[in-house]
């Protein structure tokens, strides 16, 4: 078991794919000469050449559109969009082309492509570079959405995404690239649509994904000092969504909290809360507590920005207020 970072795990997955399948190529802004905005594609251009590591023009619509065309032609493109904020410029290609062509062709065509992008705030990048939009894409039929929180899942989910016949959006949190964890040398995959119980507990269930998982771990440790057992569920992917693991946990603990970095209003975890109420209502000791980011554009000031993102103190205060802990 090697201890590596999320950055290294994703880079390993990309190298494996390039090495094992000649159909795979990587395309995006600064993925070659600059070696990626976050260093994930470091060294790939030198090893695999400009045919397979393609620096693109600054046009997200062209990048994704070219990837869709390449996938339809039988290749396996891995497209990098520098941040999720820039995917808005390619919304038509993602939502109206990649997501729908398999259905509209009655299965005659598939779009086996991965769109890697960066999500989340906390880096003082301003209102238009600090958003968490993965929930938007998870609501689109035909798209799959992976949201890893650690190196093991990053590599395992990326392997599954690259091998999937459908378009997969792969979200990497901007501030979590240096998170470390154990990754086996042996080959493995993490299936899309398989949530995991990170910590078992009997008193309350906390559900989240991506950058919020580390915050949830902090909450569980702090509440454990008060004698409260917290069950922590990492969703790992939003589409497909593993609700069975969530429901089973909520039936056991009787209390549920959802956490996401994106805006609370219209947030994806509202869907999770709704299903919990539909399928586990008789087991609950109270309504599902939803915690999300503040409903404001992300401020540039580091203090103000931090105030818009859920933290352990906010989550614990909210839990104590709602469940009388």
| Active site (catalytic) residues | 60, 129
CB atoms within 10 A of CB 193: 18
Distance of CA 197 to the CA centre of its chain: 17
Q: Can you tell me which residue has the tokens 């569980």?
A: 220
Which of these, 38, 12, 35, lies nearest to 177 by C-alpha position?
Answer: 38
Q: What is the CA radius of gyration of the chain?
A: 20
* Cβ-defined contacts of 122-127 (< 8 Å, 24+): 122/174, 122/175, 122/211, 122/305, 122/306, 122/309, 123/174, 123/175, 124/300, 124/301, 124/302, 124/305, 125/174, 125/298, 126/298, 126/300, 127/297, 127/298, 127/299, 127/300
Give me the DSSP letters along 27-48.
EETTSSTT--TTSTTTTHHHHH
Residue 214, classed as helix, strand or coil, is helix
Q: How many angstroms separate the CA atoms of 190 and 160, rounded?
A: 7
């Amino acid at each position: 078991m090697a201890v590596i970072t999320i950055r290294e795990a994703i880079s390993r997955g990309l190298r494996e794919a390039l090495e094992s399948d000649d159909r795979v190529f990587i395309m995006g802004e600064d993925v070659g000469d600059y070696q990626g905005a976050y260093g994930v594609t470091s060294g790939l251009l030198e090893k695999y050449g400009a045919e397979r590591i393609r620096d693109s023009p600054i046009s997200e619509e062209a990048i994704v559109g070219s990837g869709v065309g390449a996938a339809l032609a039988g290749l396996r493109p891995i497209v990098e969009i520098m941040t999720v904020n820039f995917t808005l410029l390619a919304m038509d290609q993602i939502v109206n082309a990649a997501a729908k062509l398999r259905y509209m062709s009655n299965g005659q065509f598939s779009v086996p492509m991965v769109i890697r992008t960066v999500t989340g705030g906390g880096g003082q990048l301003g209102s238009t570079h600090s958003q968490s939009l993965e929930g938007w894409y998870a609501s689109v039929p035909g798209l799959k959405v992976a949201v890893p929180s650690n190196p093991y899942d990053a590599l395992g989910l990326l392997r599954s995404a690259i091998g999937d016949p459908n378009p997969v959006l792969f979200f990497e949190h901007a501030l979590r690239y240096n998170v470390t964890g154990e990754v086996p040398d042996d080959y493995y995959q993490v299936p899309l649509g398989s949530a995991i119980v990170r910590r078992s507990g009997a008193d309350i269930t906390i559900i989240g994904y991506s950058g919020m998982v580390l915050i949830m771990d902090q909450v569980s440790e702090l509440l454990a000092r008060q004698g409260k057992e917290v069950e922590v569920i990492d969703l790992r992917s939003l589409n497909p969504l593993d609700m069975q693991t969530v429901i089973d946990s909520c039936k056991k603990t009787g209390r549920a909290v959802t956490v996401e970095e994106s805006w609370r209003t219209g947030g994806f975890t509202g869907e999770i809360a709704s299903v919990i109420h539909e399928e586990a209502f008789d087991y609950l000791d109270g309504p599902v507590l939803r915690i999300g980011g503040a409903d404001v554009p992300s401020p540039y000031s580091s203090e103000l920005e931090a105030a818009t993102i859920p933290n352990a103190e906010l989550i614990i205060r909210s839990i104590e207020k709602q469940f009388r802990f």
